[in-house]
Amino acid sequence: MAILTEDELRKAYLHTDLKTKKKLDIKKGTIITPSAKSFLSEKKIDLHYIDEISETKVVVEPVKKETTRAKFQTIYGGSVDEKPEHMTHLRGNLLVFKDHPQIAFRGKLDTLEAEILETQCSVAGEFKDLAEDLQEILTFVRNIVRSEVLNEQIESVHLLGMDEKELRERSHNPKKYYQMTHFMPDYTMGNAVIRLNKLRTMVRETELTAFTAFKEADYSVKRPDIIQALNRLSSLFWILMFRVRTGEYKK
């Protein structure tokens, strides 16, 4: 004869849908221990006696996988209650491994922010206006981070009073706007120019990382807005280099 114990009930209560179903099918004649009766009463679980049952112990339907409420989900179909150290948040409670391309892209943006801050400190004594312009650029980079994490579109690019078209036009035609052609940076051009050139190269690296993060199988990209924003940002650093060399930023 089957015996229903408190221990079996507690296991069923934790690992099946008994908690929400509040109903338990058991075979007629099953002996219910006193502690099991108390548990049933405490949890307000009704018993349903049936003539035939496939097992002699507690019979309840298992909780469906999709109703499991784990603390974190992964893009690989699993779920965990504690975040492993080798994983991180992609967005919300969705976890990925730390070598995920989008996480690598965020790391590049973080490094770019740090370099902009260092450059501000480096040039502020000589070119205060340049340091202030770099603050607007820093805010722009941080908005790229926000748009990527929240999966929001970058509607337009507008930096230092220039839209996307003007940024591209000025950086591609420096002779027209700055009376000089593109040049190979040299240490004699000074600290500000060399630092801006480094920022330009870092933006290009960040753009390549973005392409890796968002490219599809056919080499289209999921976030063309981010790619374009970074492309225009690298153009802007050329413009800043021209401005420093032509004396637009006063000492």
Asked if 94 and 74 touch (Cβ cutoff 8 Å), the reply is yes
CA-to-CA separations, 147 to 28, 40, 91, 202, 214, in angstroms, rounded: 61, 51, 11, 20, 14
| Segment 169-177 long-range contacts (CB within 8 Å, at least 24 positions apart) | 170/235, 170/239, 171/235, 171/236, 171/238, 171/239, 172/235, 174/238, 174/242, 177/242
Model confidence over 162-175: pLDDT tens digits?
Answer: 999 999 999 999 99
Nearest to 136 by CA among 248, 236, 245: 236
In tens, the pLDDT along 89-126 reads 888 888 888 899 999 999 999 999 999 999 999 999 99
Rounded Cα gap, residues 244 and 193, in angstroms: 7
Average confidence (pLDDT) over 9-34? 75
Phi/psi at 231 (5° precision): -65, -45
Quick one: pLDDT at residue 69? 64
**In the chain, what percentage of residues exceed pLDDT 90?**
57
Contacts 24+ apart (CB under 8 A), 89-96: 91/149, 91/150, 91/151
Mean pLDDT of the 179-193 span: 96
pLDDT tens per residue, range 130-142: 999 999 999 999 9
pLDDT for the residue 180: 95
DSSP state of 92: T
Instruction: For the full predicted model, state whether its pTM sits above 0.85.
Output: no
Chain-wide mean pLDDT for the chain? Answer: 86
Residue 55 has pLDDT above 60, yes or no: no
Query: What is the SS3 assignment for 26?
Result: strand
Q: Which long-range contacts (CB under 8 A, 24 or more apart) does 213-216 make?
A: 213/101, 213/102, 213/104, 213/105, 214/101, 214/102
pLDDT tens per residue across span 63-86: 455 555 678 887 666 778 888 898
Pairwise CA distance, residues 4 & 2, whole Å: 7
CA–CA distance, 152 with 137 (Å, rounded to integer): 19
Q: Kindly tell me if the per-residue pLDDT of 49 is higher than 70.
A: yes
Q: Which residue has the tokens 């079996």?
A: 8
Find tokens 């790391």 and name the residue: 107
